[in-house]
Amino acid sequence: MTKLIRSFLLPFILLAILFQSLYAEEGVFAETSSRSKSLFVSLESSPQKVYIGQVFSVKVKAIVAKSKVDALSNTFSEGSNVVVLNPQVMWESAGSNTYYATFLFKVTSKNASMPRLSVSLIQNQEALESEIIGLSLPSVVQLKSDPLFCNVIAQSFNVNKYKTTTFDAKNVIVVLEIETSGANLQDFKLGGIAKSGIDSYSQTANGEKIYYYAIIPNYQREFEFTYFDLPSNKFQKITLPVIIESDEVSTQLGLNPKESIFEFYKTIAYGVFAFVFFVILLKKRRWYYLLPVLIFTALFFLDKNPLNKVKLKANSALMILPTERSTVFFTNDKMLDVERLGDRDNYIKILLPDGKIGWTQRENITQN
């Protein structure tokens, strides 16, 4: 009897299990359908070969199967010896729910590995969906050694202008304005120079720009260095003649006007004219000759600029250029008697007792 009941119920039990399984699968399918994939990320372009230190780009494509998207956000996992220069670059729409982003990288060693990129779909400040893609490392090449190499690898490299001026009795300062595209310009550095560096850095519409300064011996006749040119795939040499320029205060750096030969002869001329008219005054006994004597005597003493003798407050910073982020090359520990040579905006150009010339903020200067 029991066997009969079991044989009778068994088909019904199996049928119930089958329906339950089908219902569960339908539920999973429905849930999966309600969460269908909306974000598709792929690698669009990447270089095959890069040099250590070179800035290179990787273009990524994202297709979003949603009509309303607030933003796409990026997160990079940690790579090895690879720097992501613009991790939060904005995605640009190309229409048809397609977006592109170009990421810039720099490899610092041959033993490197690229980070993984996670792209998230953002709506109402929440991540609705994310996708992770791997980025392949290009073939990494080490450049050959070059003692003049400035560490810059560039698509284009241009020295817009440069200036050489007196720094002190034994040295001159060379300031270069350099503009590049597709380059690691912030790595610009030269060896064999006692004091040098990037004074200011800025990004331009097509690349980067720096002001670089180097203090070199005044007997050096050429200033030269090399950079690696990507279009020609070889080192290019830059040679600049070291010519000390006489300059006006309106430019960023200038010679000490007191060292000008013209200034020297002008001062002598004032003294000579004052003496000549004084002798005429004594001989002619005409008092109207006193007027030119007084005028040239006043010009002689004014040319010595006693009014430009000022004091530099203690702990004042002296900078290479009259800019907010310029390099500080000297800080005095006590008040100094200095000479004011000129001014520009909120900065005063001064001559230190040891002959060095630099810029300081107006608030650091007091009158005698």
Q: Where are the domains of the chain?
A: 1-36, 39-141, 149-241, 257-367
pLDDT beyond 90 at 46 = yes
Q: Report phi then psi at 50, rounded to 5.
A: -140, 160
Which of 46-50, 246-250, 291-295, 309-313 is predicted with the least confidence, judged by mean pLDDT? 246-250
Output the pLDDT for position 200: 86
Rg (the chain; Cα; Å): 36
Output the pLDDT for position 95: 85
163 HSE (CA, 13 A, CB side): 17
Output the pLDDT for position 13: 56
pLDDT beyond 90 at 305 = no
pLDDT range class, residue 102, cuts 50, 70, 90: very high
State if pTM tops 0.75: no
Q: Which residues of 175-188 are buried (b: 16+ CB within 10 A; e: fewer)?
A: bbbbbbebbbbeeb
As a whole number of angstroms, the distance between CA 54 and CA 106 comes to: 6
Element (H, E) at 242: none
As a whole number of angstroms, the distance between CA 316 and CA 329 comes to: 11
Output the pLDDT for position 35: 55
Q: What is the mean pLDDT of residues 140-151?
A: 95
Q: Which residues of 229-246 are buried (b: 16+ CB within 10 A; e: fewer)?
A: bbeeeeeeebeeebeeee
Average pLDDT of the chain? Answer: 81
Fold (CATH) for 257-367: SH3 type barrels. (2.30.30)
Q: Residue 13: beta bridge partners?
A: none
pLDDT beyond 90 at 31 = no
Which of 53-57, 227-231, 364-368 is predicted with the least confidence, judged by mean pLDDT? 364-368
CATH 2.60.40.10 fits 39-141, yes or no: yes
Output the pLDDT for position 33: 40
pLDDT beyond 60 at 42 = yes
Q: Which amino acid type is present at position 230?
A: L
Report which of residues 348 and 224 the model is more confident about. 224
Closest CA to 138 of 207, 75, 76, 55: 55
Output the pLDDT for position 264: 59
Q: Most confidently modeled of 154-163, 300-309, 346-355?
A: 154-163
Give the list of residues 6+ apart from residue 161 with CB closer than 8 angstroms, or none: 176, 177
